[in-house]
């Protein structure tokens, strides 16, 4: 189950679902999620929290006819799936937290200048450009921003996000705080952070890995916030590691 970030529908996973579904070693059944207010999901109210968005996820395995899933959350999606794992641990086989945070007081928010720039870009609906590339990409990928964001306009036009939905998601993200509860997570967990991430500084990934028992941390050099866009294998590698860790754990427990 793939859960994306602020204002982005499941379309913004682009090729990742197809790669996972055709993985030669472990072909996955893939569910991409439209969080409330984006894509094909409704926005039932303006005021809601990340916990409410986590409760939205709880219905998806039921609808898909599965008991549990490996869950990948990117940015705001990573905040949502932390709460999902805490509220519904039996639903989560493994957790991949990409470019995200435990929230205050354990995590660090972006610099005010960068947060203001993100909000301005989001609410003006501006097409991808150098300003977005500065916020989202690390130094070694910024020169390729036009190539990397070539598919964004079509994805945006296919499911435009309203300003009301953006505001609701932004407020939910700002109020997110999970750090005091993360010690209760017991499923295999991988945290992936970019060393040049301006929106979720790598210290937030370190905090998540410290707070979640047994979590692994992957720091990517020269990479910014939009990790799945620049690293086509990051989701598949993370899931493969989660599957291996879960199989090791189940095998070590022996037969019931």
Dump strand ranges (E) for the chain: 2-3, 32-33, 69-74, 92-98, 189-194, 216-220
- Cα–Cα nearest to 178, from 74, 80, 35, 91: 80
- The tens digit of pLDDT for each residue in 139-192 reads 999 999 999 999 999 998 887 788 888 899 999 999 999 999 999 999 999 999
How high is the pLDDT of residue 251? 62
Examine the pLDDT at 34 and tell me if it is beyond 90.
Answer: yes
What pLDDT sits at residue 253? Answer: 58
Using the predicted structure, report yes or no on whether residue 256 has a pLDDT greater than 80.
no
How do residues 40-91 score in pLDDT, each as one tens digit?
A: 888 777 788 999 999 999 888 888 889 999 999 999 999 999 999 999 999 9
Range of the domain at 57: 2-253
Taking all residues of the chain, what is their mean pLDDT, rounded to a whole number?
93
* Residue 219 DSSP SS3: strand
CATH number at residue 86: 3.40.50.1820
The pLDDT tens digits of the residues spanning 86-144 come to: 999 999 999 999 999 999 999 999 999 999 999 898 888 778 999 999 999 999 999 99
The H or E element containing residue 216 is strand 216-220
pLDDT, one tens digit per residue, over 17-29 is 999 999 998 899 9
> CA 98, CA 202: separation in Å to the nearest integer?
11
Looking at the whole model, is its pTM more than 0.85? yes
Q: What is the pLDDT of residue 87?
A: 96
Percent of the chain with pLDDT over 90: 77
Q: How many CB atoms lie within 10 A of CB 255?
A: 3
For the chain, the domain total comes to 1
Looking at residue 160, its pLDDT comes to: 77
Q: What letter would DSSP give residue 41? A: -
């Amino acid at each position: 189950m793939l859960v994306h970030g602020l204002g982005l529908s499941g379309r913004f996973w682009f090729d990742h679902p197809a790669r996972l579904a055709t993985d030669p070693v472990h072909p996955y059944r893939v569910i991409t999620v439209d969080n409330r207010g984006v894509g094909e999901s409704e926005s039932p109210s303006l005021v809601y929290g990340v916990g409410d968005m986590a409760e939205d996820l709880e219905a998806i395995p039921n609808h898909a006819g599965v008991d549990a899933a490996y869950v990948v959350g990117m940015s705001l999606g990573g905040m949502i799936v932390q709460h999902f794992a805490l509220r519904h641990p039996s639903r989560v086989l493994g957790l991949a937290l990409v470019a995200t945070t435990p929230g205050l007081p354990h995590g660090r928010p972006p610099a005010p200048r960068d947060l203001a720039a993100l909000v301005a870009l989001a609410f003006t609906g501006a097409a991808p450009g150098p300003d977005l590339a500065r916020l989202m990409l690390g130094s070694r990928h910024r020169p390729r921003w036009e190539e990397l964001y070539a598919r964004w306009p079509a994805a945006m036009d296919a499911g435009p996000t309203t300003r009301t939905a953006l505001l609701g998601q932004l407020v939910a993200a700002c109020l997110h705080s999970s750090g005091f509860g993360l010690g209760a997570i017991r499923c295999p967990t991988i945290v992936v952070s970019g060393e040049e991430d301006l929106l979720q500084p790598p210290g937030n990934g370190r905090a998540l890995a410290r707070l979640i028992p047994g979590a692994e941390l992957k720091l990517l050099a020269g990479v910014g916030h939009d990790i799945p866009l620049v690293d086509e294998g990051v989701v598949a590698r993370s899931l493969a590691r989660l599957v291996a860790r879960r199989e090791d754990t189940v095998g070590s427990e022996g037969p019931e």
